[in-house]
């Protein structure tokens, strides 16, 4: 038996980093997905094939506990697969060897929530193939546990959005609200190599905050206010305002020390050819920017390319976790 | 009779733009000066020679009112000279034609307070040569009037610092406090062409603020908090903290939309070779950055050059307005 689950990546439109400190954020799932295909094996061996994620095939034997040493950003993704299998096994109280193949329509580890997408798709596929069709709520909850275990600290944001899909206004420790877009937004992603992991960037901000508690608290509140106003800009379809808020948010991320020269190059290049808003998206230290560029997608893509980034056309998409016919892959 | 007065330029270490909205700022006069030499003429003609400021010599006849049309950033500087002469004439109730020559040790109109330096040196030289030795308080006050008249809106900050010199913590509408440095700071200026005048940048921020009142107020308060903590970092000689606060302040200026691609290039290039803090200084839209780079001045200068900026070694200097022996020029 063979099954494929896919889950979407996400962009943070407003509020990355500040959400860690209790401020609201706006995140949306996108039309770029991670696909996890599983086939049950007759032995106890987990074999992972994931050339698209730029790591070679890897075999892991399941003992009482699965352990992977991962010092490297690419092995990082594997941690989530292994931990998801471990946690799913415990939850459904069954285990089996699997051939797992993974492919991605977006760069992995670039701040697009790929670890959450890998996690929820793995949880769903593994339990499904062993006869347990978990509910979305169960998967989102287990997914958060996986991220918590791997990262030490994690908001439920990424796993929630990757499981349910949508465009949400998230208020940490309170709940989230689905927003709806009246018109499709012209958006372009720009991607550059990431130097640092999300965990490291979160730690960097924590250190800056500890040294400048009052100032950074004020900046976090400013980012929170942007997310609040951004919600209304989305509801009203005020694209100009949305762009301006993105630009302001980018500066605040810069003040937290999470932007880089290459990220700024992409931001300025995009604005220069007509993006009305451009900002880092995700934890930073490299990774991705999003540019809001009504009618100027081609120009912005080219501009991003010219400064050394990889442009990617994308849309917000409401589709969350999904099971595919096995013919798909 | 011939006399030369000089007045220093200044850097804003913390708080540009936010000071317009009542937040504290820290500014320091520097060891780069503007020199204004005057020689009384027998007629009513004001002849200005200022090749160093990159404008050609210019003759103006004093009528009942001096008027100069200045649409251009270079003619901009002339407005201050003409207005300073007009206001000094009224104040001392005397007037005369003059040959005026002006030279500058720093780029003009780049956010270094050159218009204030030109203003106070002109006021002092003009009144001195006509037999009136104005007090520093009188000159600072008249200087502010000149800036107000020319710009429409102006804080007394630049004219105060250029007249008295020093390193001051300024609380608008309250007063200012002289700070003292325990150790000399290793600082480098980086200069690029400026696209916009201070007045235009102040207007730009005003417009963004009107559209996002709550958010921008919070950002202004964050900048104010940086100036407050920066004061203590200066008093304690905590250079590391000073650098970190500069970096945070730069991000906040970025969020106000006053930075540019070239400014950011210089900021990142400086940090990349060891500056512990780098930020835009002044109103932005191009102009100058300051980089705090203990023991790394050569490397930072080179890095600024490599991204197309003009590096300039400078020091904070306590020396304000000063009369020179005429032999000087």
- Nearby residues of B287 by Cβ (< 8 Å), 6 or more positions away: B110, B111, B112, B191, B192, B194, B263, B280, B281
pLDDT of the residue at B44: 84
What's the whole-number average pLDDT of chain A? 90
pLDDT (tens digit per residue) in B243-255 = 999 999 999 999 9
Closest approach of A158 to chain B, Cα-based (Å): 26
Closest approach of B305 to chain A, Cα-based (Å): 16
Q: How far apart are CA A69 and CA A80, in angstroms?
A: 12
Q: What are the chain B neighbours of A208 within 8 Å (beta carbons)?
A: 244, 248
Q: Are both B2-177+317-327 and B181-313 of the same fold?
A: no
What residues does each domain of chain A span?
Answer: 2-177+317-327, 181-313
Q: What are the chain B neighbours of A15 within 8 Å (beta carbons)?
A: none
pLDDT at residue B193 above 70? Answer: yes
CB proximity A280 to B under 8 Å? no
pLDDT at residue A241 above 80? Answer: yes
- Domain covering A2-177+317-327, topology: Ribosomal Protein S5; domain 2 (3.30.230)
**CA dihedral for B256, B260, B266, B271, sign (positive or negative):** positive
> What would the mean pLDDT of A212-232 be, rounded to a whole number?
97
Secondary structure letter of residue A83 according to DSSP: H
User: Lowest-pLDDT range, A239-243, B62-66, B212-216?
Assistant: B62-66
* Partner-chain contact B254 A257, CB within 8 Å: no
Would the pTM of this model clear 0.95, i.e. be above it? no
pLDDT of the residue at B60: 54
- Nearby residues of B213 by Cβ (< 8 Å), 6 or more positions away: none
CB proximity A250 to B under 8 Å? yes
β partners of residue B14: B26
pLDDT (tens digit per residue) in B287-309 = 999 999 999 999 999 999 999 99
What element of type H or E holds B326?
A: none
pLDDT of the residue at B74: 57
> How far, CA to CA in Å, does A318 sit from each of A178, A321, B196?
10, 10, 43
pLDDT of the residue at B45: 87
Q: What are the chain B neighbours of A218 within 8 Å (beta carbons)?
A: 218, 221-222, 225
pLDDT at residue A61 above 60? Answer: no
pLDDT of the residue at A60: 54
Question: Cβ(A168)–Cβ(A161) under 8 Å?
Answer: yes
In CATH, the architecture of B181-313 is 2-Layer Sandwich (3.30)
- Decide the pairing of beta strands A98-104 and A187-192: unpaired
- pLDDT confidence band for A172 (50 / 70 / 90): confident
Q: How far apart are CA B194 and CA B190, in angstroms?
A: 12
pLDDT of the residue at A328: 45
Q: How far apart are CA A324 and CA B7, in angstroms?
A: 75
- Decide the pairing of beta strands A45-49 and A98-104: parallel
Q: Tell which of A215, A217, A219 to mutate to test the B interface (max B CBs under 10 Å).
A: A215
Question: Cβ(A256)–Cβ(A216) under 8 Å?
Answer: yes
Tokens 């005429």 sit at which residue?
B326
pLDDT at residue B42 above 60? Answer: yes
> What would the mean pLDDT of A155-172 be, rounded to a whole number?
90
- Decide the pairing of beta strands B310-314 and B175-178: unpaired
pLDDT of the residue at B40: 93
- pLDDT confidence band for A53 (50 / 70 / 90): low
Most confident of A112-116, A201-205, B215-219: B215-219
* Partner-chain contact A255 B268, CB within 8 Å: no
pLDDT (tens digit per residue) in A65-102 = 444 443 355 567 788 998 999 999 999 999 999 999 88
Closest approach of B228 to chain A, Cα-based (Å): 10
- pLDDT confidence band for A280 (50 / 70 / 90): very high
């Amino acid at each position: 038996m063979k099954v494929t689950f896919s889950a979407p990546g996400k962009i943070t439109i407003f509020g990355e980093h500040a959400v860690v400190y209790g401020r609201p954020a706006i995140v949306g799932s996108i039309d770029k997905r991670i696909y996890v295909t599983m086939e049950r094996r007759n032995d106890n061996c987990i074999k992972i094939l994931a050339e698209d994620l730029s790591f070679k095939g890897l075999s892991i034997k399941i003992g009482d506990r699965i352990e992977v040493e991962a010092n490297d950003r690419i092995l990082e993704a594997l941690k989530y697969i292994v931990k998801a299998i471990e946690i799913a096994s415990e939850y459904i109280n069954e285990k089996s060897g699997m051939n797992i193949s993974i492919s991605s329509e977006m760069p992995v580890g670039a701040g697009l929530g790929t670890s959450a997408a890998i996690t929820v798709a793995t949880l769903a596929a593994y339990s499904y193939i062993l006869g347990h069709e978990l509910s979305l709520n169960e998967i989102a909850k287990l997914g958060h546990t996986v991220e918590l275990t791997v990262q030490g600290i994690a908001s439920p944001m990424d796993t929630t959005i990757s499981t349910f899909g949508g465009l949400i206004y998230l208020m940490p420790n309170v709940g989230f609200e689905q927003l709806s877009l009246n018109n499709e937004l012209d958006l372009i992603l720009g991607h550059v190599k990431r130097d640092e992991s999300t965990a490291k960037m979160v730690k960097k901000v924590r250190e800056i905050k500890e040294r400048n508690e009052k100032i950074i608290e004020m900046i976090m509140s400013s980012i929170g206010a942007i997310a609040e106003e951004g919600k209304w800009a989305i509801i009203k379809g005020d694209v100009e305002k949305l762009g301006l808020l993105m630009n302001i948010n980018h500066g605040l991320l810069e003040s937290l020390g999470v932007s880089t020269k290459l990220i700024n190059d992409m931001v300025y290049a995009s604005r220069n050819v007509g993006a009305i808003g451009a900002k880092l998206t995700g934890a930073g230290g490299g990774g991705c920017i999003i540019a809001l560029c009504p009618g100027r997608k081609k120009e912005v893509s080219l501009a991003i390319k010219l400064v050394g980034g990889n442009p990617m056309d994308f849309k917000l998409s409401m589709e969350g976790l999904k099971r595919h016919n096995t013919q798909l892959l």
